[in-house]
Amino acid sequence: MSELFPIPQTLAARAHVDQPTYRRRYAESLRTTEDFWEEEAAFIDWIRPFREVSDTSFDPADLRIRWFADGTLNASVNCIDRHLPAKADRPAILWEGDRPGESRTVTWAELADQVNRLANVLRGLGVAKGDVVTIYMPVIPEAIVAMMACVRIGAVHSVVFSGFSAEALADRIRDAGARVVITADEGLRGGRVVPLKRNADRAVAAAGGVDHVIVAARTGARVPLTPGRDIRWGAALALADPWCPPAEVGADDPLFVLYTSGSTGRPKGLVHATGGYLVQVGTSWRTIFDWHEGDVFWCTADIGWVTAHSYKIYGPLLNGATSVLFEGIPTFPDHARWWSVIEKHRVAIFYTAPTAIRSLMREGEAPVLRHDLSSLRVLGSVGEPINPDAWRWLHRVVGGGRCPIVDTYWQTETGSVLLVPIPGAVPNKPGAAGKPYFGICPVVMDSAGRPVAGAGRGSLCFAGSWPAQARTILNDHDRFIRTYFAPFPDHYFTGDGVERDRDGYYRITGRIDDVLNVSGHRLGTVELESTLASHPAVAEAAVVGIPHEIKGQAIFAFVTLKSGHPESGTLRAALVALMRERIGPIATPEAILWAPALPKNRAGKILRRVLARIAAGNYDDLGDTTTLADPEAVDEIVRRHRASL
């Protein structure tokens, strides 16, 4: 069992939640969950107050997830208007561009002005309450303006990571039925240009149904505009009215859609509802990072992920906090870039991912120590388990040994953090994702589907709903029920394995479904495999994760070719290019092994479990191979893998 790091006294003295308070409030929040959330809901400015707190059931035959359902509100009013006029001239966003020296400050008044104008532009284009608008933008203030403008008029944003390809974007535009897309001329990442408008043009052509594309200027490059369809951000906003009345939205009306990968089939668009999400995200953000007025917050996630939605955009905005918005990557122009940004803006709370920490660790301590990081008070980690080595480095080198690390466990589906060592309340244990948040009831299920009492390992589930939980998968409610509620009736199933120790800490042991976690990003094996199999030379493909020093997991592909297609380096390169083109650079395989045949059971299901062990070099421990239809296939793959090393 790993060691405990005591809570720093200076932090505990003024923390929102201390140890006794956590124990008492947590116990209370489970006994009277509705009372707890009713109190938290006072954080939001409602237009019409709700009467009923919740109506929920995780019974797959009668799934209900309703929170504050008869209340009404507007998200942008809660994120922006209510901080005015008091904070009008104070910074809402401290933007740092990809290149050092390129920066902008956006005040609350400027943010409000831009949001209102863009909301009017959207209205003018016929966007109405409930319509989905797809946002494909770099990490620039305009991206946040775009999200807020949507919710001002009750429209639903669907942000697509700007590292995704035109095809991935087209799928998401089509699935959501978006008629308006907001993008930028180009993006910049690590000094490299990302042709966003060009990708968007291709995606719009492929998807069909898009009437208008709004183009913000980032690099100022000349990009082709389609007359009648494309609209320049700057020109349109300049002409727009600077006041847009906020729409009155029901608490259970959708706020946004966000796509993530599942174990089967196509990416799924998780739908989040307005009221519950804002209540839980706004209150939990402040609690888990122990934010106090005046603290500068920085979350390094890209806007295309849920981390950014909840804890970089909605959390800080709801609380009227100043946050850093950084466009670039941690290693450009050098390995000290993050540390110089922390020093420049006197960042107090820094929320990042283990994969980045592992890559920066390799550069040694010197780039960190050149900078004054004494402003830091709380550090956060998300996306995958943080290995104890990376934990200790982050704690000692970056945090100077004085900052607790909040290892936040949650998912796109959960909307909000579920397991976390609240600073001031829960001492840190490196490698463990801490303890449940208020109102959250984790259940460890054994292989027979029975809850494990006390310490033990199993599947991580949750009993009982929480307000920020996703309500459905867009256009596929059956899949929502099947994926999350059917495996363990009356429980939400995360897809993760977990271990609970005697002190009640949870350690995530990794995905137990066919989902990979590459650099903290989810990739479904089926999605990767069908992309490989779409190449004319490929008969069949199987993808597994292999341990990777920096990325956590990397993609290892086994590919069977059609006869008449010789194995070659050129073909290998073509398959890599195909993955990057269809999905994006994050889908680049680490290795491709030509397999004459793939191991399957008698029902024809590919045994990825066996392949995963071969890919990791564990030839002597292939697990149960008695169900194999063709054991020779495995011998041949082992031979080839050995030879490839």
- Specify the residue for token string 């479990």: 609
Q: Which of 559, 514, 556, 568 is nearest to 535 (CA)?
A: 559
Instruction: Kindly identify the residues of this chain, within the stretch 571-600, that bind ligand WT7 according to CB under 6 A.
Output: none
- Which tokens sit at 262? 């599942």
Q: Any contact of residue 313 with ligand WT7 (CB under 6 A)? A: no
User: b/e per residue, 551-586, with b = 16+ CB within 10 A?
Assistant: bbbbbbbbbbbeeeeeeeeebbeebbebbeebbbeb
Instruction: Kindly identify the residues of this chain, within the stretch 17-56, that bind ligand WT7 according to CB under 6 A.
Output: none
Q: How far is the CB of 483 from ligand WT7 (least distance, A)?
A: 12
Q: Any contact of residue 435 with ligand WT7 (CB under 6 A)? A: no
Out of 71, 91, 399, 495, name the contact with ligand WT7 by CB under 6 A: 495
Q: Any contact of residue 494 with ligand WT7 (CB under 6 A)? A: yes
Q: Give the sign of the dihedral formed by CA 150, CA 154, CA 155, CA 161.
A: positive
- Sequence-ordered alpha helix ranges (H) in 534-583: 569-582
Q: Any contact of residue 433 with ligand WT7 (CB under 6 A)? A: yes
Q: How far is the CB of 59 from ligand WT7 (least distance, A)?
A: 23
Gap between the Cα atoms of 591 and 608, Å rounded: 16
Q: With beta carbons less than 8 A apart as the criterion, state whether 120 and 214 touch.
A: no
Tell me the window of 57-65, 381-389, 584-592, 604-612 that interacts with ligand WT7 (CB under 6 A): 381-389
Q: Any contact of residue 384 with ligand WT7 (CB under 6 A)? A: yes
Instruction: Kindly identify the residues of this chain, within the stretch 151-210, that bind ligand WT7 according to CB under 6 A.
Output: none
Under DSSP, the state recorded for 6 is P
Out of 297, 391, 410, 505, name the contact with ligand WT7 by CB under 6 A: 410
Helix axes 33-40, 19-31, angle to 10 degrees: 120
Instruction: Kindly identify the residues of this chain, within the stretch 230-269, that bind ligand WT7 according to CB under 6 A.
Output: 260
- Our CA dihedral for 502, 504, 509, 512, rounded to 10 degrees, sits at 110
Instruction: Kindly identify the residues of this chain, within the stretch 501-530, that bind ligand WT7 according to CB under 6 A.
Output: 508, 511, 517, 522
Burial of 404 (0-12, 13-18, 19+ CB in 10 A): buried
Q: What are phi and psi of 206, to 5 degrees?
A: -75, -40
Tell me the window of 31-39, 154-162, 300-308, 534-542 that interacts with ligand WT7 (CB under 6 A): 300-308
Smaller CB separation from ligand WT7, 38 or 499? 499
Q: Any contact of residue 304 with ligand WT7 (CB under 6 A)? A: no
Number of residues counted as binding ligand WT7 (CB under 6 A): 22
Q: With beta carbons less than 8 A apart as the criterion, state whether 468 and 415 touch.
A: yes
Longest dimension (CA), the chain: 73
Smaller CB separation from ligand WT7, 473 or 614? 473
CA distance readout (Å), 602 to 81, 572, 634: 62, 30, 14
Out of 284, 323, 411, 519, name the contact with ligand WT7 by CB under 6 A: 411
Q: Any contact of residue 553 with ligand WT7 (CB under 6 A)? A: no
Q: How far is the CB of 299 from ligand WT7 (least distance, A)?
A: 10
Out of 496, 514, 527, 529, name the contact with ligand WT7 by CB under 6 A: 496
Tell me the window of 154-162, 222-230, 490-498, 545-553 that interacts with ligand WT7 (CB under 6 A): 490-498
Out of 385, 404, 431, 584, name the contact with ligand WT7 by CB under 6 A: 385
Residues that bind ligand WT7 (CB under 6 A): 260, 305-307, 382-385, 407-412, 433, 494-496, 508, 511, 517, 522
